[in-house]
Amino acid sequence: MNISGTALRDLHRIHKQLTDLRGRLDRGPKQVAASEGVLRRMETDAADAKEAHKKARVASDAKQLQLKSREAKIADLKTKLNTANSNKEFQMLKDQIAADQQANLVLEDEILESLEKIDQLAAKVKKAEADLVAAKAETGKVKGRVEGEQANLESELARVLNELKEAEENLPTEYKADYARVARVRGEEALAEVDGEVCGGCYQMLTPNMMNELYMSKAVFCKSCGALLYLSEGRGVGE
C-alpha cells in the first residue's frame, strides 16, 4: 500500500507543532518559578537592608547617649574645679576634664561617621524596597501572562492532538504498528524529510533501493535512526 509524501509531511508538521506546544507549556511554569525566586531574593535583600539600617541607628544612638553623659560629667568636673581643696586635687580634675574632652572629640568623629553610614544604609533600604515593588509587579505580570498562555496552549494542544489522531488513522494499516512504535519513543523525530539522498534525521546516506521505494511512495524507515522517511515537497511522484 502506498503512503503519500504529503500525508507524511503533514504528520511531521503536526509532531513538530506538538513538540513546540509541549515546550511552551513546560516553559510557562518555569518562568513563573524563576520570577518568584527573584522576588524571594528581593524580599530577603530588603529585610537585610532594614535590619542593617536599624542596627546602625541603635549603635549611633548609644554613642550619642555616651557623648551626652560624658558632657554632663565634664560640666560636673568643672564645677568641682571651683571647690577644689588643693592644688593636687585641682590638677587632677583638670587632667580628668582634658582626658574626657579628648575622648569626646574622638566620639564626635565616630558619631559623624555613623550618621553618614546611616544615610547610606537608608538609601540602600529605599533602593531595596523599590526593587521589591518592581519584582512584585514583574512576578504578577509573568503569572498573569503565563496563566493566559497556558489556557490557550492547552486548547491548542488538544486541537493538534486531535489532528495527530486523524493523521495517524489515515496511515496505511501495515505501517501503523512500526510508526507507532517509533513515534512513542522519538516523538517528532519519528519522521524525517529526505535531504538529497540523506536522512534528514540522522544524516545517514540512503541506498538507491530506498530512494526508489520512496519515489514509488512506499513506506521507508531509515535503517540507521528508524525514522519514517518522506520526500520534500515537489519530489514525490505526481506532486
**CA geometry: angle at 20 spanning 221 and 158, to 5°?**
95
Minimum CB distance to Zn ion smaller for 200 or for 236: 200
Minimum gap (Å) between residue 209 Cβ and Zn ion: 15
Q: Does 202 bind Zn ion (CB under 5 A)?
A: yes
| Residue from 93, 194, 222, 228 binding Zn ion (CB under 5 A) | 222
Minimum gap (Å) between residue 229 Cβ and Zn ion: 7
| Residue from 128, 160, 225, 231 binding Zn ion (CB under 5 A) | 225
- Measured distance CA(228)–CA(9) in Å, rounded: 10
Which run of H or E residues covers position 231? strand 228-231
Minimum gap (Å) between residue 192 Cβ and Zn ion: 6
Contacts of 145 (CB under 8 A, 6+ apart): none
Q: Does 224 bind Zn ion (CB under 5 A)?
A: yes
Minimum gap (Å) between residue 49 Cβ and Zn ion: 58
Footprint of Zn ion (CB under 5 A): 199, 201-202, 204, 222, 224-225, 227
